[in-house]
């Protein structure tokens, strides 16, 4: 096993389009790193550059101590699981698993043993004699993982491997892959994983660390908790979390202990926020997660007043969409605390929890409420 380093990695296509803008990323040995971002953020391109399926036009990629820029994919010590599984349609499952080892001219007994071990680990023993077209989506996915696992690579690369599965299967495969990663670690052969997804649930639940990307730039690399609690910028704040963080334009003034002006309403900067604030005042983007926007009785001093637009009953909680000063806000309210008589057009009041308010600079988007 080995770690992985990306140094100023760039990708410029022949038509001069620059997809990846000099990214730096260090992935530790045995770490589960998730690359996440909206479509077109170059997360797959980055993965394909690590795999060697895409040329690197600038910077270097290091696996272990080797710069692999000019190495063929097969010589990089990687294994990859593709979104479409990419099983060889004319080979039976056993041959699909053993193909890589056969190319390396390993003895037949060794291939048979490895195939048996891997198929046991992934519970695909009974599928070995089948062709890929005789497999269900979940089975094909497990075979694809097996084909990667059998090579005992330095680094595992996953390219949106679960996006073709239905929701239920996706959840169970998610657990399976995480479980496999933990098991390998426990067995003393930790696997370094780079996992690309656009699904933040996968990212949050699977990754040791998550790298959020946008337009070929890395926006933040952190563990899931930090990413959620201390987003480095408005993009990460908005991208991570369900429902999305409320992000609205506001103005910050630092006089009188600090005030945030949102349209005609003014929000006092409470001490819990003031001590973290590093913004000089002026145009900001105010960020409050729906979970941190507390529904309070109307008339509560310092609360934001708004009108109800839509009430979404989710079961254990209610998503309350409200209009505050022309901005759309969502607040998540536990079902048992929700006043069922509320209807569209009713006036409501919210109290943003000061501990969780984020202040982003409107120009740079950087979070100015993370403390010094």
Partner 1 sequence: MTVTTPDIADELALTEHQVRLRRRARINAAIRYTILAAVGLMMLYPLIWLIGASFKTNSEIFSNPGFIPREPTLDGYIEGWKTSTPYTFARFFWNTFQIVIPKVLFTAISATMVAYGFARFEFPGKKIFFATLIATLLLPNVVTRIPQYLLFRDIGWLDSFLPLWVPSALAGDAFFVFMLVQFLRAIPRDMEEAARVDGANSLQTLIFIVVPLLKPAIISVCLFQFMWTMNDFLGPLIYISSVDKFPISLALKLSIDTTEAFEWNRILAMSVLAITPALIVFFMAQKHFIEGISAGGVKG
CA distance 15 to 92: 40
CA distance 216 to 45: 9
CA distance 73 to 82: 14
Cβ 89 to partner 1 shortest distance, Å: 3
DSSP string for residues in 228-252: HHS-SBHHHHHHSSSSPPEEEEEEE
Cβ 91 to partner 1 shortest distance, Å: 8
Instruction: Give the x-and-dash track for 8-47 against partner 1 (CB under 8 A).
Output: ----------------------------------------
Complex with partner 1: residue 136 or 278, whichever CB lies closer: 136
Complex with partner 1: residue 151 or 214, whichever CB lies closer: 151
Residue bearing tokens 């998610």: 174
Q: Which range of residues in 73-81, 169-177, 194-202, 279-287 is near partner 1 by CB under 8 A? A: 73-81
Complex with partner 1: residue 79 or 245, whichever CB lies closer: 79
At residue 54, φ and ψ (nearest 5 deg) are -135, 135
CA distance 257 to 13: 51
Cβ 153 to partner 1 shortest distance, Å: 9
Site for partner 1 in 90-119 (CB under 8 A): 90, 99-100, 103-104
With binding defined as CB under 8 A, does residue 80 bind partner 1?
yes
Complex with partner 1: residue 55 or 253, whichever CB lies closer: 55
Residue bearing tokens 């908005």: 238
Candidate residues 8, 24, 84, 344; the one interacting with partner 1 per rule CB under 8 A? 84
Site for partner 1 in 296-325 (CB under 8 A): none
Complex with partner 1: residue 194 or 245, whichever CB lies closer: 194
Q: What share of the chain is helix, strand, coil (3-state, %, to 5)?
A: 30, 35, 35
For residues 318 and 291, is the Cβ–Cβ distance under 8 A? no
Cβ 86 to partner 1 shortest distance, Å: 4
Q: 326 vs 305, 318, 322, CA distance in Å?
A: 11, 21, 9
Q: Contact residues for partner 1 (CB under 8 A)?
A: 51-53, 72-75, 78-80, 82-90, 99-100, 103-104, 131-135, 137, 140, 147, 151, 164
């Amino acid at each position: 096993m080995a770690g992985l380093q990306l140094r100023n990695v760039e990708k410029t296509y022949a038509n001069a389009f620059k997809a990846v803008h000099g990214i730096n990323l260090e992935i530790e040995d045995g770490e589960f790193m998730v690359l996440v971002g909206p479509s077109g953020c170059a997360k797959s391109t980055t993965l394909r550059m690590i795999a060697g399926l895409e040329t690197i036009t600038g910077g270097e990629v290091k696996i272990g101590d080797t710069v692999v820029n000019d190495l063929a994919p097969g010589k990089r010590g990687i294994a990859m699981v593709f979104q479409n599984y990419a099983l060889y349609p004319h080979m039976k499952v056993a041959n699909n698993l053993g193909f890589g080892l056969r190319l390396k001219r390993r003895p037949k007994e060794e291939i048979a043993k490895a195939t048996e071990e891997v198929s046991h680990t992934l519970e695909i023993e009974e599928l070995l004699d089948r062709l890929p077209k005789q497999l269900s989506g979940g089975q094909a996915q497990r075979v694809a993982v097996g084909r990667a696992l059998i090579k005992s690579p330095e680094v595992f690369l996953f390219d949106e491997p679960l996006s073709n599965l239905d929701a239920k299967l996706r959840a169970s495969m998610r657990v399976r892959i995480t479980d496999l990663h933990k098991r390998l670690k426990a067995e003393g052969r930790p696997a370094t994983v780079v996992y690309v997804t656009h699904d933040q649930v996968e990212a949050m639940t699977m990754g040791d660390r998550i790298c959020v990307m946008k337009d070929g730039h890395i926006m933040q690399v952190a563990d899931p908790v930090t990413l959620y609690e201390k987003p480095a910028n408005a993009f990460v704040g908005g991208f991570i979390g369900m429902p999305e963080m409320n992000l609205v334009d506001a103005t910050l003034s630092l006089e009188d202990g600090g005030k945030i002006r949102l349209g005609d309403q003014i929000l006092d900067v409470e001490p819990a926020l003031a001590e973290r604030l590093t913004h000089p005042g002026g145009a900001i983007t105010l960020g409050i997660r729906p979970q941190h926007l507390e529904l309070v009785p109307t008339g509560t001093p310092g609360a934001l007043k708004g009108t109800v637009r839509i009430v979404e009953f989710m079961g254990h909680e209610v998503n309350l969409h409200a209009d505050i000063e022309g901005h759309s806000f969502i607040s998540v309210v536990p079902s048992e605390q929700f006043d069922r008589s509320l209807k569209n057009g009713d006036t409501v009041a919210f109290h943003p929890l000061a501990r969780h308010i984020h202040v982003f600079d409107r120009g740079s988007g950087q979070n100015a409420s993370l403390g010094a």
